[in-house]
Structures are given as structure tokens and as C-alpha cells.
């Protein structure tokens, strides 16, 4: 059974908090979409001081241009792992060193157009990989079926690694995503745009 993480993409803390309260009884971790308006054409709420008050583990998905400049501020107790984008990091070792200096694990996200060949030799440096099913920036986009092959390839390469999929994850695609090898599903619309949030999470996790 995959672990389901609600993806929260909101512009202010009140809305982040509201979303978190809606899902808190049903999940272990929140996938928090952090956008800077530069790496992606959208902005979200990004104040770690307030995120620290949420009372649940949060995994920030940093869709920002210079992630190494942002890592330090995520040194908060309810964050253990931070996800940065392959397309945004310059020097991999520098960003890894930065994460180590604050004692956090580092995950790597890859956009649909980024080949797994570009990342395969560095996978051991990261705690998890986040395969994007859409171009990052907005929720509610359709899943790009081409990434199924990427998930399969990565799973063959790394039988024990956490492989998460984010963007367009819904009931129509869940099965093939999990069968391909993903063990973590991040979803926004398929959870929050439903009448029954608890049921939606349970269905995705089945």
C-alpha cells in the first residue's frame, strides 16, 4: 500500500492551516508545495516559522530557483526531509552539504522532461526521488503518462528507495503509478476536490 501525502499549495497561512486540519487525522506527513514565482510561475506560502506550528511532519517540495539559499530556513523540528529540484540545483554536492549542515535528509525531484539518465548516477546521494507527473507550478493538471516508464526504470535501479509521484495523481492513474513502483503518492485535487476527504485518502492508499 502506498503512503498518501496531501499536497498543499496555498498562498497564505490560514489556508495552509485549514487544509492541514482537514487531513491531519488520516495521514503521517504533509507534502508542502513551496513556490517562489521564479522557478515556477506561481507563489505559495513559505514561512517556516509558522509551518513549525502545524503539529504534523511536513515535507517541503521546494520549487525555487536557488534551493541551497533556502534550505537553512527549513531547520524546524517538524521537517526531516526537504525536496529540491534537479533542474534548479547547480552543484549537487553543495546542496547536499547544506542539507547535512542542518541535519535534514534531501530528496530530489525531476520534471517530466528530465531524463532519469541525468540523475541515475547521483541517486545514492539522496533519500528519495520525487517523480513529477506534471510540469510544476499548479495543481489540477492532467497526469503525463510518459513518466510511468521513468518510475519503472527508477524502481528497477533502486529496489529499496522511496519513490514518490506528484502531480496529476488521481484514482484513474493510481494503479499504474503504484504498479510501476511508486510507494508514495502526493495529491492535491484527488484529495481536496472531493466530497469526502477521508474516503479519498483511503481510496488512494488502497
Per rule CB under 6 A, count of chain residues that contact ligand DX5: 20
- By residue count, the chain amounts to 206
Nearer to ligand DX5, 110 or 187 (CB): 187
Nearer to ligand DX5, 157 or 197 (CB): 197
**Terminal CA-to-CA distance of the chain, rounded, Å?**
6
188 contact, one of Zn ion, ligand DX5, none, CB 5-8 Å limit per kind: ligand DX5
Cβ-Cβ contacts under 8 Å for 118 (sequence gap 6 or more): 86, 110
Distances in whole angstroms, Cα of residue 95 to Cα of each of 82, 83, 91, 126: 11, 11, 7, 11
Residue sitting closest to Zn ion (CB): 61
153 close to 116: Cβ distance less than 8 angstroms: yes
| Cell 499549495 found at | 9
Catalytic residues: 33, 166
How many other C-beta atoms can be found within 10 angstroms of the C-beta atom of residue 157?
15
Q: How far is the CB of 97 from ligand DX5 (least distance, A)?
A: 25
If binding is defined by CB under 6 A, does position 189 make contact with ligand DX5? yes
Q: What is the 3-state secondary structure (H, E, C) of 77-94?
A: CCCCEEEEECCCCCCHHH
Please list every residue from 128 through 157 that binds ligand DX5, using CB under 6 A. Answer: 134, 136-137, 139-141
Q: How far is the CB of 31 from Zn ion (least distance, A)?
A: 6
Which of 108, 187, 200, 201 contacts ligand DX5 by CB under 6 A?
187
Joined together, the cell numbers standing for residue 41 give 510561475
Q: How far is the CB of 101 from ligand DX5 (least distance, A)?
A: 25
Nearer to ligand DX5, 2 or 167 (CB): 167
Q: Which residues of the chain form contacts with ligand DX5 (CB under 6 A)?
A: 7, 9, 31, 33, 61, 134, 136-137, 139-141, 166-169, 186-190
Amino acid at each position: 500500500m502506498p503512503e498518501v501525502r496531501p499536497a498543499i499549495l496555498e498562498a497564505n497561512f490560514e489556508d495552509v492551516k485549514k487544509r492541514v486540519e482537514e487531513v491531519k487525522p488520516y495521514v503521517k506527513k504533509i507534502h508542502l508545495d513551496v513556490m517562489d514565482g521564479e522557478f515556477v510561475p506561481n507563489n505559495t506560502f513559505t514561512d517556516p516559522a509558522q509551518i513549525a506550528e502545524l503539529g504534523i511532519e511536513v515535507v517541503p517540495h521546494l520549487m525555487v530557483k536557488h534551493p541551497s539559499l533556502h534550505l537553512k530556513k527549513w531547520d524546524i523540528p517538524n521537517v526531516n526531509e526537504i525536496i529540491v529540484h534537479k533542474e534548479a540545483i547547480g552543484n549537487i554536492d553543495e546542496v547536499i552539504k547544506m542539507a547535512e549542515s542542518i541535519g535534514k535528509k534531501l530528496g530530489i525531484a525531476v520534471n517530466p522532461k528530465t531524463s532519469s539518465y541525468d540523475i541515475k548516477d547521483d541517486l545514492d546521494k539522496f533519500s528519495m526521488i520525487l517523480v513529477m507527473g506534471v510540469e510544476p507550478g499548479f495543481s489540477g493538471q492532467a497526469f503525463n503518462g510518459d513518466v510511468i516508464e521513468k518510475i519503472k526504470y527508477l524502481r528497477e535501479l533502486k529496489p529499496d528507495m522511496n519513490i514518490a509521484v506528484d502531480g496529476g495523481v488521481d484514482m484513474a492513474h493510481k494503479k499504474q503509478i503504484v504498479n510501476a513502483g511508486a510507494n508514495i503518492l502526493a495529491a492535491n485535487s484527488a484529495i481536496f476536490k472531493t466530497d469526502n476527504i477521508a474516503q479519498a485518502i483511503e481510496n488512494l492508499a488502497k
